Amino acid sequence: MKNTVSFFSSPVITDFSAKKFAFLQFAEIDEIEKIQTRLFLHHLKFTVNNSPFYKKLYKNKNIDLKKIKKLSDIEHLPLTEKSDLIPAKYFLCVDNREIVDVCLTSATSGPIPSMISLTSGDLSRLAYNEELAFDMAGIDDKDTLLICAAIDRCFMAGIAYFLGGVKLKARVLRSGSGSAAQHWELIKLADATVIVGVPSLIYKIGQHAIDNNETPGSTLVKKLIAIGEPTRDEHLNLLPIAVELEKMWGAKIYSTYASSEMATTFCECSARRGGHLRPELNITEILDNNGHPVKEGERGEVVVTPLGVTGMPLIRFKTGDISYLINEKCSCGRTTKRIAPILGRKNQMLKYKGTTIFPNAILACLEGDQRFHNGYIEVRKNKDGTDRILLFAALCSENNDKTWISDILRAKIRVVPEIKLIDKKKADKKVYQFDKKRKRMTFFDLR
C-alpha cells in the first residue's frame, strides 16, 4: 500500500477529489486572489523544496522565497521551457513509489516527447479539473460522452476526459483513436449526446455519415467539445469549420484549451466567449517577448503555473501558445477571467510584408468551405530574411480555379501567400498522420 503524500495533510491544499474550490468560479475578485495567493505560496514552497531542478535553479539565482509574498511577486521568478523538462527525473518531487501514471506529451516542438509523472493525487486533480470543465459547458450526469482522444500510449488527454466524465457521473464511451466509421457506429449504438474530439476529426465522422446517406443531425448529439484546434478567430467569431460542424450536427460547439504540462483545462461556458481561467488550479500569465506581463487584453505567450500538482510540479512554464485574456464580465455569472482562442504557436509566427501572421489563421479561413478539401502551409526563408509562405491546397472539385482562395484570404486576413493546388490524396497523406501524431500536421517549417 502506498503512503499518502504528506502534502495533502497540509491545511492549505485540499485533495482535489472534493470540490472545495469550485465556488471560486463565482467568487469576488478579492476572494479569488486571497485563496490563489495561499495556493501559490504553498505550491512554490513545496516545489522548490522538493524538485531537484527548481532547488538548484533557485539556489543559483539566489532567490529568497521569504521575499515572495503576493501573487504579483511571481514576476521575479524564472521561466521554465519545454526543453528544461528533459530529463524529467529532475522535476520529480516525490519518491518513485508515489508515481502511479506516466504521460508523454506530444512532441510538437521537438523530436523527443517529454515525460510527466503523476501521483494518485495528480490523477484525482485531473479528474476534478475535467469534471468542472465539462460542467462549465453544461454537461451533466444525463449525458453520454463519446471521447475521441487516445487513452492509451501514455496520452494524458484521453485519461483526463475519461476520469472527468466518470467523476461527473456521465456515461462515457472510450472511443479513443478509432476510425470515423467506428466513432459513427458508436454514436448511434450508444446514443452519444456529446462528442469530445479534434474539430477536423468530428468533421470527418460527420462526413462519413453523409457519404453513407445518413444524417449526423438526426443523432442525439447536442454538444461538441472541441480539443486541440481553435474554433474561433481572434475576435471570437466562429471559424468556418466550426460553423460547418454546428450545421452538420445540429449541435453547439464549445472550445477547450489544455496541455499535458499545464494539467488544466480552460473550457468555454454557455456564453462561449473564451475559456474561463481556473484560479484554484493554475496561475495563468500572458507575457511579452522579454518575459514581462503584457498590458491587460494584449496578446502574448501563455505562461502557466499549475497549482496543486505533486508528482512533477512546474513554475512559470512557457506554453509557446499565443493568446490574450478577457476581463469583461461574463453573462454566465462567473467572475473569473477568460482566455481567448489560441492564435498560434510562438515559434510558428510568420513575417509577411511587415505584419505577423500564424499559419493556422490562413487555413482557418478555408476550412469548412465546401470547395476546400484539405491543405497545409510550408514556410521557407527568402534571401532577404523574410518568410516565403506557400499554401498547398486540395480542392473538392477538379476545377483548378484558385482566385476564390486569394479573395477569401485577402478579405479575411489581408495576406495572400503563394498558392499551389495539389490532389486530395497527397494532401490527406501529409496532413492526417493520426497513427503517429494526435494532431493534424498542417504546418511545415523549412526556414
CA distances for 263 relative to 152, 170, 175, 221, 308, angstroms: 17, 21, 22, 27, 10
Buried b (16+ CB within 10 A) or exposed e, 87-125: ebebbbbbeeebbebebbbbebbeeebbbbbbbbbbbbb
Near Zn ion in 368-407, by CB under 5 A: none
Q: Is 333 helix (H, G, I), strand (E, B) or coil?
A: coil
Closest by Cα among 224, 225, 286, 209 to 257: 225
Distance CA 101, CA 127 (A): 14
Near Zn ion in 37-66, by CB under 5 A: none
In the complex, least distance from residue 330 CB atom to Zn ion, rounded to whole angstroms: 3
The residue (of 21 and 266) whose beta carbon lies closer to Zn ion is: 266
The residue (of 284 and 374) whose beta carbon lies closer to Zn ion is: 284
| The one among 43, 334, 430, 438 contacting Zn ion by CB under 5 A | 334
In the complex, least distance from residue 333 CB atom to Zn ion, rounded to whole angstroms: 7
In the complex, least distance from residue 276 CB atom to Zn ion, rounded to whole angstroms: 6
By the rule CB under 5 A, 236 interacts with Zn ion: no
The continuous run of DSSP H or E covering 317 comes out as strand 317-323
The DSSP symbol for 261 reads T
The residue (of 138 and 178) whose beta carbon lies closer to Zn ion is: 138
Four-point Cα dihedral 160, 165, 169, 175, nearest 10: -120
In the complex, least distance from residue 32 CB atom to Zn ion, rounded to whole angstroms: 14
The residue (of 29 and 271) whose beta carbon lies closer to Zn ion is: 271
In the complex, least distance from residue 71 CB atom to Zn ion, rounded to whole angstroms: 22
In the complex, least distance from residue 75 CB atom to Zn ion, rounded to whole angstroms: 27
Cβ(334)–Cβ(269) below 8 Å: yes
In the complex, least distance from residue 381 CB atom to Zn ion, rounded to whole angstroms: 43
Place of cell 446514443: 191
The residue (of 26 and 407) whose beta carbon lies closer to Zn ion is: 26
Q: Count the site residues for Zn ion by CB under 5 A.
A: 5
Closest by Cα among 340, 227, 267 to 25: 267
In the complex, least distance from residue 252 CB atom to Zn ion, rounded to whole angstroms: 14
Give the per-residue contact string, 294-333, with Zn ion (x = CB under 5 A; - = no). ------------------------------------x-x-
In the complex, least distance from residue 329 CB atom to Zn ion, rounded to whole angstroms: 9
Give the per-residue contact string, 237-276, with Zn ion (x = CB under 5 A; - = no). --------------------------------x-x-----
The residue (of 119 and 336) whose beta carbon lies closer to Zn ion is: 336
95's CB contacts (< 8 A; 6+ apart) are none
The residue (of 88 and 330) whose beta carbon lies closer to Zn ion is: 330
258's CB contacts (< 8 A; 6+ apart) are 133, 157, 160, 227, 264, 265, 266
The residue (of 328 and 418) whose beta carbon lies closer to Zn ion is: 328
How are beta strands 144-147 and 171-173 bridged, if at all? parallel
Distance CA 41, CA 24 (A): 18
| Residue 63 CB coordination number (10 Å) | 16
The residue (of 29 and 396) whose beta carbon lies closer to Zn ion is: 29
Distance CA 428, CA 82 (A): 30
Interaction site with Zn ion (CB under 5 A): 269, 271, 330, 332, 334
